[in-house]
């Protein structure tokens, strides 16, 4: 045996030798045994009961986490960057007079051709500036016919009697019209209240709500919508932002005293809006925030929203502003013991523990009844500085028949330019494409902005970034030598994530500190397809470099494992909680890079991608910063436009919104990059990659339209 160089000896001596040399230099696990990887057995769903939140150790740690999580929510909702705000052109008409307040009918355009509808309650006899409350309603009434419910909800006689008997409601009016009751009471307390329709409810009918007979999937459930992050939830979230714009446009409203409250699905809208918009001063999401069920409707779910997080932490993004919550005999029943203590610990970092509260009423089912509403009135009375004597109790009111609250009539018909899902999505695509194409790098400043927007989006889409070496676990599973090549079998993974990524390190007689991370659709078996080392691998070893070959998720020794199922009805139910398959593969490449980079003997890391694994490598390289020196990848003529189903192994929600593979490849600059088997950009397509390298003024970028021979690629990589 030849004498090992000191660095090679160090590389091979991290852990004790296996008991005996293995005749198969590439097989890490016993034949027929799959990796014990949690991703094969655990697919998270909205109904899991462990969406726990661990409070950060310091305010600084939370501020960093808050920034990234807020970006995640924006990306997930298709609002990164924020869409171009077009004129609202509000119409306010049909004033209904009550003794202490008035009710008006409102509609305005959140997007051209898409209208938000609702009622505006204003207190009488009070001078501004006045506090204001935005009031989303949630899923009230018959889900199969939501147009007749929501803002226009009236309880049936059986429900009215039951609520009066149980003490949930104290007046017949409140029992019959609980949504009107809260708006009327807040107006009498001195608040301007905007009570607006969820999409598909009340007067918002050109687009039907998910779950209705007319629109069971929501109209945003196909692969094209996923690839552009166009979702029903994103539409509702943007409507809430524009509703807040409208409310703050009223001259009598005090912009420093704005609250938001809703229950159930309206609770989801409340804490999501308050997570991404700095303008609300107080929030009260009722019967929604919990460590259990996260929201069952398509309008409460979208890809990426709850990966590595949950509603408790999402609600915590509002800290240290006042956050009040209620629970009931539903998934929120444990809010006082699961969720509230952690939120109090978070608020304690700001010296504001008294600004977060939750009160559960387990004697009542899912509700926003008078008992719960009165908790909210007192919360807003204090934190919106309404000056009402406490305790505030709800007084009887004169309800308005639902048909009289309807926004459209003969004098104010539905606008002729109102559009349905198809035309709205076409507008969203055109508008978004215009925004993203403006990011094509031209100079140093535009390259920086491209990295900020597209780079942030990619981090969210992969739900990962290059880990620190301390966050990677490396376990040896065997070692040996054959024909002058030494191998070391490994199992890689992230600490605490229950992953097993089979890998192998190959070294020749000499090692100069360079490691090539080898990524192939067949995994590490591609090194020895017929029992003999392929020429490209031999070429790398002859150059004194080592090879780290990995079986990324569902390749190599994962053979026989089935990919986690994707909800075909709406992929947001899957990708809202779990990485897509493509993202898991990129995640594993990042693990391998960190494992190589963190070793004291390694000075240089290169990335090499073959066949359909080439795009995986490009996406990983885009997240590696300067940890990788050179990258060579077979693009395999892949375009995200070719993905037509949500279960496609290359599905990555948002990929087309952010410019596709060329835009992500631009993030590799200024690291040396060789892309081959890559189609030339069309006449109308921007030159993302070339523009990035010209703007960086550094690095080597080489592109070839044909597939390059492996030996040529290795020669370029190790030149």
pLDDT, one tens digit per residue, over 544-600 is 999 999 999 999 999 999 988 999 999 999 999 999 999 999 999 999 999 999 999
Please say if the pLDDT value at position 391 is more than 60: yes
Mean pLDDT, to the nearest integer, of 692-718? 97
pLDDT digits over 248-274, tens only? 999 999 999 999 999 999 999 999 999
Largest CA distance in the chain: 98
User: What is the side-by-side order of every strand in the sheet holding 472-482?
Assistant: 472-482, 485-494, 501-507, 546-550, 514-519, 604-609, 630-634, 672-676, 701-704
As a whole number of angstroms, the distance between CA 227 and CA 35 comes to 30
pLDDT digits over 478-487, tens only? 999 988 999 9
Q: What residues does 630 pair with on adjacent strands?
A: 606, 672
Give me the torsion for CA of 412, 413, 419, 421, rounded to 10°. 100
As a whole number of angstroms, the distance between CA 249 and CA 92 comes to 13
- Mark out the alpha helices in 283-420 (DSSP H runs): 311-316, 340-348, 370-383, 402-405
pLDDT digits over 501-541, tens only? 999 999 999 999 999 999 999 999 999 998 899 999 999 99
As a whole number of angstroms, the distance between CA 686 and CA 114 comes to 30
The two structure tokens encoding residue 362: 């387990």
So what's the pLDDT on residue 679?
83
So what's the pLDDT on residue 269?
98
CB 662 within 8 A of CB 410: no
Please say if the pLDDT value at position 3 is more than 50: no
The two structure tokens encoding residue 665: 């490849």
As a whole number of angstroms, the distance between CA 401 and CA 176 comes to 11
As a whole number of angstroms, the distance between CA 135 and CA 153 comes to 14
Please say if the pLDDT value at position 111 is more than 80: yes
* DSSP H or E segment with residue 672: strand 672-676
- Sign of dihedral through CA atoms 668, 674, 675, 680? positive
Residue pointed to by tokens 């001195």: 190
So what's the pLDDT on residue 717?
98
So what's the pLDDT on residue 213?
64
Q: Is 199 helix (H, G, I), strand (E, B) or coil?
A: coil
Predicted model pTM: 0.95
Please say if the pLDDT value at position 715 is more than 70: yes
So what's the pLDDT on residue 18?
39
Region for 298 from its dihedrals, namely left if φ exceeds 0, alpha if ψ lies in -120 to 50, beta otherwise: alpha
Q: Torsions phi, psi of 471, nearest 5? A: -90, 0
Please say if the pLDDT value at position 12 is more than 60: no
CB 670 within 8 A of CB 628: no
Give me the percent of the chain exceeding a pLDDT of 90. Answer: 90
Cis peptide before 444 (omega within 30 of 0): no
So what's the pLDDT on residue 214?
62
So what's the pLDDT on residue 5?
35
Please say if the pLDDT value at position 22 is more than 60: no
Query: Average pLDDT, whole number, for the chain?
Result: 94
Residue pointed to by tokens 């007749």: 148
Confidence of residue 141 (pLDDT cuts 50, 70, 90): confident
Number of H helices, E strands in the chain: 23, 18
Mean pLDDT, to the nearest integer, of 653-662? 98
Q: Is 656 helix (H, G, I), strand (E, B) or coil?
A: coil
């Amino acid at each position: 045996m030849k004498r090992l160089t000191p660095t090679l000896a160090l590389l091979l001596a991290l852990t004790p030798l296996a008991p005996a040399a293995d005749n198969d230099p590439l097989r890490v696990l016993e034949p027929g045994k799959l990796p014990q990887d949690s991703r094969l057995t655990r697919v998270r769903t909205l109904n899991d009961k462990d969406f726990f939140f661990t409070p950060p150790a310091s305010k600084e740690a939370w501020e960093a986490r808050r920034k990234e999580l807020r970006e995640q929510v924006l990306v997930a909702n298709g609002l990164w960057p924020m869409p171009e705000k077009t004129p609202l052109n509000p119409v306010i008409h049909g004033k209904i007079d009550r003794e202490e307040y008035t009710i008006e009918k409102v509609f305005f355009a959140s997007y051209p051709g898409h209208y938000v509808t609702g009622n505006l309650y204003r207190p009488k006899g009070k001078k501004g500036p006045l506090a204001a409350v935005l009031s989303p309603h949630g899923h009230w009434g018959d889900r199969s016919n939501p147009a007749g419910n929501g803002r226009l909800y009236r309880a049936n006689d059986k429900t009215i009697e039951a609520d009066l008997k149980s003490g949930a409601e104290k007046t017949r009016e409140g029992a019959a019209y609980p949504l009107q009751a809260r708006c009327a009471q807040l107006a009498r307390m001195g608040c301007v209240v905007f009570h607006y329709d969820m999409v598909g409810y009340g007067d918002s009918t050109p687009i039907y709500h998910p779950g209705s007979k007319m629109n069971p999937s929501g109209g945003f459930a196909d692969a094209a919508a996923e690839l552009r992050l166009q979702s029903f939830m994103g539409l509702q979230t943007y409507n809430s932002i524009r509703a807040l714009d409208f409310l703050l446009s009223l001259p009598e409203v005090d912009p420093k005293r704005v609250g938001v409250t809703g229950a159930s699905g309206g609770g989801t809208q409340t804490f999501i809006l308050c997570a991404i918009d700095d303008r609300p001063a107080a929030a009260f999401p009722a019967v929604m925030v919990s460590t259990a069920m996260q929201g069952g409707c398509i309008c409460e779910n979208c890809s990426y929203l709850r990966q590595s997080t949950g509603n408790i932490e999402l609600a915590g993004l509002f800290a240290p502003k006042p956050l009040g919550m209620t629970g009931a005999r539903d998934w929120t029943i444990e809010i006082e013991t699961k969720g509230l203590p952690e939120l109090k610990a978070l608020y304690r970092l700001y010296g504001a523990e008294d600004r977060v509260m939750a009160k559960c009423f387990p004697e009542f089912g899912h509700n926003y009844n008078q008992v719960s509403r009165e908790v909210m009135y007192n919360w807003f009375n204090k934190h919106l500085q309404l000056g009402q004597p406490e305790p505030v109790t709800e007084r009887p009111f004169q309800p308005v028949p639902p048909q009289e609250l309807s926004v459209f009539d003969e004098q104010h018909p539905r606008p002729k330019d109102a559009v349905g899902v198809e035309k709205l999505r076409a507008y969203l695509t055109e508008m978004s494409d215009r925004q993203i194409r403006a990011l094509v790098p031209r100079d140093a400043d535009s390259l920086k902005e491209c990295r900020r927007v597209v780079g942030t989006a990619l981090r969210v889409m992969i739900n990962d970034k290059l880990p620190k070496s301390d966050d990677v676990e490396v376990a040896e599973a065997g070692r040996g030598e054959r024909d002058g090549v030494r191998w070391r079998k490994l199992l890689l993974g992230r600490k605490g994530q229950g992953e097993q990524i089979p890998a192998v390190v190959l070294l020749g007689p000499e090692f100069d500190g360079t490691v090539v991370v080898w990524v192939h659709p067949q995994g590490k078996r591609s090194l020895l397809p017929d029992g003999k080392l392929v020429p490209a691998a031999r070429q790398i070893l002859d150059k004194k470099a080592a090879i780290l070959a990995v079986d990324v998720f569902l390749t190599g020794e994962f053979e026989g494992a089935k990919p986690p199922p994707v909800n075909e009805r709406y992929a947001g139910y899957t990708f809202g909680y779990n990485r897509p398959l493509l993202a898991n593969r990129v995640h594993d490449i990042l693990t391998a890079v960190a494992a190589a980079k963190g070793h004291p003997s390694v000075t240089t890391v290169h990335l090499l991608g073959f066949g359909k694994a080439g795009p995986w490598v490009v996406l990983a390289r885009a997240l590696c910063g300067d940890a990788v020196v050179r990258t060579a990848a077979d693009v395999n003529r892949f375009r995200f436009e070719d993905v037509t189903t949500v279960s496609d192994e290359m599905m990555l929600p948002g990929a087309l919104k952010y410019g596709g593979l060329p835009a992500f490849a631009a993030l590799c600059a200024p690291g040396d990059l060789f892309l081959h088997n890559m189609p030339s950009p069309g006449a109308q397509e921007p030159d993302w990659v070339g523009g990035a390298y010209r703007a960086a003024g550094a690095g080597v970028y080489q592109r070839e339209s044909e597939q390059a021979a492996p030996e040529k690629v290795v020669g370029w990589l190790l030149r």
